[in-house]
Structure 1
Amino acid sequence: MNKTSVTDKVKIAQRVADELQDGDVVNLGVGIPTLIPDYLGDKSLFLQSENGLLGIGPTPPDDQVDMDLISASKKPITMSPGASLFSSSNSFAMIRGGHVDVAILGALQVDETGEIANWAVPGKDILGVGGAMDLVAGAKKIILSMTHQSKDKKPKIIKKLTFPRSGVRKADMVVTEQAVFKFENETMILTEIAEDFSIDQLKESTEANFVVSPELKTDY
């Protein structure tokens, strides 16, 4: 798994989709999270985008794309029955008011206690903070959906953040193409590992320390 493929990203999106429960209000962040609407099956959720939509549906066919309807990643989406459109200020009031059950975010880094960095790379231009800090503070649960390593093959799951952190709140769960980790009492626990992938291989691509769950699943 030296190169993250579209299939890897779909795998991550499918695993996160499995984690969601009927009735959840779920914010979908930029990147891999916006793939999730296509893998929910018959689950009944309320998918929210910070640009002002509650009720995101699956990706439209090419001949039905309306670029006035886009995700946080500026990709075309549909609206599910009963969906609502509203201003960005109302969207952030929803987030800041604690009305989002789950925030699914991408990340540049996450440390072994669950601390998140997902908005700035030191030395590079900063386009804006976006909604990351509000979501980290306001959502009831935080799931990170991210590639295990950066494009230059550096670990993204590390001992201590080197990028600016996104807030005081920490992640509850991390899903990558290689593994699934959960955080309990600031300890990172390996709960699932990719099929045909060893713990030794995982340690090579993961700088952070982690413990292995006694109920580790090996068919992820």
Structure 2
Amino acid sequence: MGKHITPAEAAAMIPDGAVVSVSSSSGLGCPDLMLKAIGERFAATGHPSEITTLHPIAAGDMSGIKGVDHIARKGLLKRILAGSYPSGPSTSEPPLIWQMITANEIPAYNIPSGILFDMHREAAAKRPGVITKIGLETFVDPERQGCAMNALAAETPVVKRVSFENEDWLYFPAIVPQVAIIRATTADEHGNLTYEHEGATLGGLDQALAARNNGGIVIAQVKRITKQGALKPHDVRVPGMLVDYVIVDPDQKQTTLTDYDPAISGEIFRPLESFSVPDFNIQKVIARRVAQELQAGSCVNLGFGISANVPRILLEEGLHGAVTWVIEQGAVGGVPLLDFAFGCASNADAYMPSPYQFTYFQGGGFDASLLSFLEIGRDGSVNVSRLSFRPHVTAGAGGFVDITARARKIVFSGMFNAGARLSIVNGKLVIEREGKLKKLVEAVEHVTFSGSRAIAQGQDITYVTERCVLKLTRQGLVLTEIAPGVDLQTQVLDQSEFPLIVSPDLKLMDAALFGEARIGLSLPTKAPRVLEGAHV
């Protein structure tokens, strides 16, 4: 096969100073062997040097798929722009890329994943760039950090605030990749790519178009090669006319810590009873209360953290299928997976290309989003993207900013403060020791979600913790529910850095949340969507 070359030969195709786009979401779809070959070539020859890399979601993780850490070498990397970065526990050595970022060795940017995909599409069509309201009044806005993760990045902005039709917008100039590195399952002799063992198609097509339309090259890493004509045309996600070179890694993992699971790629459907439900603990209490915010018939986005367990709550309550889950990597429906398989789903209805899933999110076409928080500010703003004292334990924003920008309803969940020792005794929450770090702070360190903009747009914002529920209003954060067994003054109001408004209708959280038995969850039905002026 003319396009089939070795990883070393493919790495030699990348010139010094190139802009290289890499398709990956942590371990999902990561062309790890190809990135390894680039790092090895640089170690041996000093080339390619001074490259810029684009990672719309993330490349690699801390559990066996090094990804971007293969190329995190001084002299090899000149600049990096990513939706998120590999993260690790505070007790471990930071990933190499984080060491470079915090040492200010290269300019590093955290750009919302959807916008990075948009930048590829604009580059492919030879348009000047992306004009968007996604990210206004957050760390993305140049009036704050402008996506910069360190001082070097702040010196070279990648986004501007502009006025268009008497409104404020953010403008991201398109960045043209000379090389796109993508991954699939199978390539035929012509380079046509199918994704039958993948948990998502991600954005490989858009990245390939951006490189090809601007005179660049496309390198595909696959698991296997078949003869030309063996692939069904409808199964081909990236046509061979866009693919220049193919390398083979028969051992590529399907996703982090998973060699291959046909349920992740939709080749089989798992029986519902094969999915575990959460053990009874504090996090389950929170996930149950989040589930009470849902409506049957809704399409709901899901983020990492406590909220990732909400589909299992519905499963346990006999309500699987009442809500359609939509994940930024592209899965629609099914049962979203947990831990290192997060971003994948079993029994999915469909796999959307990630760039188009982000278009759905950016335009607010879905009904609600369930997300986490690290900090909540007085104005309702949320930080999930940066903690200066432990930067490498946060991955960055990923698609968080794209998702929250126009979401009609958002439910943030998390522990009220960090490090508290808690238990549940006889259906009541017992706070045995308060945490050392307050999470309700005067002002969040990094604005990943803007509370003031949410108010201006009329978004419905709820914050669920183990000890209380809060709502964002024009007057401030209003305490609407409190857990049984919790003292209002000492264990809620005194644990916030700013005054909370206590609702005159303050009530106890549902007592069933704090028991081991099922809670008897019942979801109201979402009203059907009707066009204004339609006759029904």
Indicate the TM-score class for this superposition, using the shorter chain for normalisation.
Answer: 0.7 to 0.9
Unaligned runs of 5+ in 1: 59-69
What displacement does 1:219 show?
4.1
Aligned AA for 2:482? I
What displacement does 1:74 show?
2.7
2:438 is paired with a residue whose SS is: coil
**Alignment partner of 2:412 out of 126, 140, 144:** 144
Match of 2:496 in 1: 206
- Taking the aligned partners of 1:73 and 1:53, their CA distance within structure 2 comes to 16
- Taking the aligned partners of 2:360 and 2:291, their CA distance within structure 1 comes to 22
Distance 1:190-1:99 versus aligned 2 partners, 3 A rule: same
Matches within 5 A, 1:110-129: 110-123=376-389, 124-125=391-392, 127-129=395-397
Would you say the 8 A contact 2:309–2:338 is kept in 1? no
Would you say the 8 A contact 1:158–1:208 is kept in 2? yes
Aligned AA for 1:142? I
1:94 is paired with a residue whose SS is: helix
Distance 1:73-1:92 versus aligned 2 partners, 3 A rule: farther
Distance 1:109-1:159 versus aligned 2 partners, 3 A rule: same
Is the counterpart of residue 13 in structure 1 residue 287 in structure 2?
yes
**Alignment partner of 1:107 out of 364, 373, 377:** 373
Match of 2:505 in 1: 215
Aligned AA for 1:98? G
Is the counterpart of residue 46 in structure 1 residue 324 in structure 2?
yes
Q: Deviations over 1:44-92 (max 9, x none)?
A: 111111111111327xxxxxxxxxxx45863474325xx1112211221
Match of 1:174 in 2: 463
2:385 is paired with a residue whose SS is: coil
Matches within 5 A, 1:3-82: 7-40=281-314, 41=317, 42=319, 44-57=322-335, 70=337, 74-75=341-342, 77-79=345-347
Match of 1:160 in 2: 443
Aligned AA for 2:412? L
Would you say the 8 A contact 1:136–1:166 is kept in 2? no
Would you say the 8 A contact 2:382–2:448 is kept in 1? yes
Distance 1:6-1:132 versus aligned 2 partners, 3 A rule: farther
Matches within 5 A, 1:186-197: 186-197=475-486
Distance 1:186-1:74 versus aligned 2 partners, 3 A rule: farther
Unaligned runs of 5+ in 2: 1-278, 420-434, 455-459, 511-536
1:144 is paired with a residue whose SS is: strand
Aligned AA for 2:301? N
2:332 is paired with a residue whose SS is: strand
1:33 is paired with a residue whose SS is: helix
Greater shift after overlay, 10-19 or 44-53? 44-53
Would you say the 8 A contact 1:111–1:157 is kept in 2? yes
- Taking the aligned partners of 1:192 and 1:51, their CA distance within structure 2 comes to 34
2:347 is paired with a residue whose SS is: strand
Distance 1:18-1:95 versus aligned 2 partners, 3 A rule: same
Would you say the 8 A contact 1:50–1:72 is kept in 2? no
Aligned AA for 1:92? F
Would you say the 8 A contact 1:49–1:72 is kept in 2? no
> Which has more radius of gyration?
2
Would you say the 8 A contact 1:136–1:167 is kept in 2? yes
Would you say the 8 A contact 2:468–2:481 is kept in 1? yes
- Taking the aligned partners of 1:56 and 1:39, their CA distance within structure 2 comes to 14
Match of 1:65 in 2: none
1:39 is paired with a residue whose SS is: helix
2:283 is paired with a residue whose SS is: helix
1:13 is paired with a residue whose SS is: helix
Match of 1:132 in 2: 400
Would you say the 8 A contact 2:439–2:496 is kept in 1? yes
Q: Deviations over 1:158-191 (max 9, x none)?
A: 2222x21014344711000010001111411111
Would you say the 8 A contact 1:14–1:36 is kept in 2? yes
TM-score between both structures, scaled by the size of structure 2: 0.35
Match of 1:61 in 2: none
Would you say the 8 A contact 1:50–1:91 is kept in 2? yes
TM-score between both structures, scaled by the size of structure 1: 0.82
Distance 1:176-1:145 versus aligned 2 partners, 3 A rule: same
- Taking the aligned partners of 1:102 and 1:73, their CA distance within structure 2 comes to 24
Distance 1:181-1:99 versus aligned 2 partners, 3 A rule: same
1:208 is paired with a residue whose SS is: coil
Would you say the 8 A contact 1:49–1:56 is kept in 2? no
- Taking the aligned partners of 2:411 and 2:324, their CA distance within structure 1 comes to 16
Would you say the 8 A contact 1:113–1:186 is kept in 2? no
More relative contact order in 1 or in 2 (CA 8 Å, sep 6+)? Answer: 1
Aligned AA for 2:399? G
